[in-house]
């Protein structure tokens, strides 16, 4: 069995740490580079493998890059991958629509799988949400709730946006036309097509999402709870094993899981 040599960008972060731990248990994967910000160089060795970190990404001797960092770092990494045609799995969230467009444009030159959530459960949930939204049509009001740990810097979560887009698609709507990102004061009654978002931040919550379909006389609640961020790391590693065999272009978790 040949080993897949990975560069991990954001290796000193929460997801980077979880990736290094999960890779240590997998004989078919190897960490070729652990890329961190200069401030994290105080850590002289990372993960169970005791990898010496570096501050610059080189794709020499690397089969695939995995990035869990920040939007600006993600785009820098994508440019490097585009130049060297190295596949990239990225889970970084909080990219603006313009940054997402830039990322997709860059991926004409390399295989990219960018996903707001690498858990199988959430990607199945997105399918169920689209189906429920289509079935209820305009007979149900759609609301989303998400909760994450106190360190999370973007809101609503990338996963909440992914679920909101699935709900909007089921009703042939565009999320950005109908999203109610916050409510306060004299808001007036709810618009029929509105998709509302509620956000909680606190403690060490790994990630919870509920999509509500509130109809007259009944309410459907579809919930996913992550209890360990290892599910995202293992999902990203599964994506890496799949992506390395794909042609250049932008792929989604649905492409991998459902062959779309
Ligand atoms: P974190 O803040 O713990 O880690 C991010 C790390 O990236 C930090 O150590 C930071 O110093 C580092 N970093 C920033 N710029 C860098 C650069 N240029 N080079 C190298 N390292 C750099 O955050 P986290 O909880 O690990 O999450 C990281 C990202 O992944 C966030 O956007 C988060 O929302 C997202 N996330 C996605 C999923 C998913 O399944 N897609 C799951 C969890 C988190």
Exposure string for 74-93, b = 16+ CB within 10 A, e = fewer:
bbebbebbbeeebbbbbbbb
pLDDT tens, 96-129?
Answer: 999 999 999 999 999 999 999 999 999 999 999 9
How far does residue 14's CA lie from ligand 1's centre (Å)?
7
How far does residue 177's CA lie from ligand 1's centre (Å)?
29
In short, whether 90's Cβ falls inside 6 Å of ligand 1 is no
How far does residue 10's CA lie from ligand 1's centre (Å)?
6
Q: Which atom of ligand 1 is nearest to the CA of 158?
A: 34
* Among the ranges given (1-5, 9-13, 61-65), the one the predictor scored with the smallest mean pLDDT: 1-5
The pLDDT, as a whole number, for residue 1 is: 65
The pLDDT, as a whole number, for residue 44 is: 82
Asked if the model's pLDDT at residue 33 lies above 90, the reply is: yes
Closest CA relative to residue 213, chosen from 144, 156, 157: 144
The pLDDT, as a whole number, for residue 166 is: 97
- Residues marked as catalytic: 148, 152
In short, whether 232's Cβ falls inside 6 Å of ligand 1 is yes
Q: Which atom of ligand 1 is nearest to the CA of 153?
A: 34
Mutation pick for ligand 1 pocket among 69, 149, 199 (CB with most ligand atoms within 8 Å): 69
Q: Whole-angstrom Cα distance, residue 91 to residue 93? A: 6
Coil/strand/helix, residue 28 = coil
Whole-model pTM: value is 0.91
In short, whether 18's Cβ falls inside 6 Å of ligand 1 is no
Asked if the model's pLDDT at residue 224 lies above 90, the reply is: yes
The pLDDT, as a whole number, for residue 81 is: 98
In short, whether 14's Cβ falls inside 6 Å of ligand 1 is yes
pLDDT tens, 135-181?
Answer: 999 999 999 999 999 999 999 999 999 999 999 999 999 999 999 99
Is residue 62 a contact partner of residue 6, using CB atoms and an 8 Å limit?
yes
Averaged over 6-23, what is the pLDDT? Answer: 97
Closest CA relative to residue 69, chosen from 121, 29, 17, 28: 17
Using alpha carbons, list the distances in angstroms from residue 45 to 6, 48, 229, 240. 17, 9, 22, 24
How far does residue 139's CA lie from ligand 1's centre (Å)?
39
Considering the chain, what is the average pLDDT of its residues? 96
How far does residue 189's CA lie from ligand 1's centre (Å)?
38
In short, whether 47's Cβ falls inside 6 Å of ligand 1 is no
pLDDT tens, 66-104?
Answer: 999 999 999 999 999 999 999 999 999 999 999 999 999
């Amino acid at each position: 069995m040949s080993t897949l040599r990975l560069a991990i960008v954001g290796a000193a972060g929460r997801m980077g740490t979880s990736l290094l731990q999960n890779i240590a248990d997998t004989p078919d994967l190897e960490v070729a580079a652990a890329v961190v910000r200069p401030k994290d160089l105080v850590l002289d060795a990372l993960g169970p493998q005791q990898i010496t970190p570096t501050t610059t990404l080189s794709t020499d001797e690397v089969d695939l890059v995995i990035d869990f960092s920040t939007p600006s770092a993600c785009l820098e990494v994508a440019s490097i991958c585009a130049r060297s045609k190295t596949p990239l799995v990225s889970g970084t969230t909080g990219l603006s629509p313009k940054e997402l467009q830039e990322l997709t444009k860059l991926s004409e030159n390399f295989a990219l799988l960018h996903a707001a959530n690498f858990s199988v459960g959430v990607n199945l949930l997105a399918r169920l949400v689209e189906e429920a939204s289509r079935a209820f049509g305009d007979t149900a009001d759609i609301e989303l709730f998400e909760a994450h740990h106190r360190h999370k810097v973007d809101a609503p979560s990338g996963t909440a946006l992914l679920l909101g887009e699935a709900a909007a698609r089921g009703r042939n709507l565009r999320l950005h036309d109908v999203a109610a990102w916050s409510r306060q004061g004299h808001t007036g009654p709810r618009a029929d097509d509105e998709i509302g978002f509620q956000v909680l931040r606190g403690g060490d919550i790994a990630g919870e999402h509920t999509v509500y379909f509130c109809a007259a006389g009944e309410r459907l609640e579809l919930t996913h709870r992550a209890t360990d961020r290892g599910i995202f790391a293992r999902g990203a590693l599964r994506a890496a094993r799949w992506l390395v065999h794909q042609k250049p272009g932008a792929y989604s978790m649905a492409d991998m899981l459902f062959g779309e």
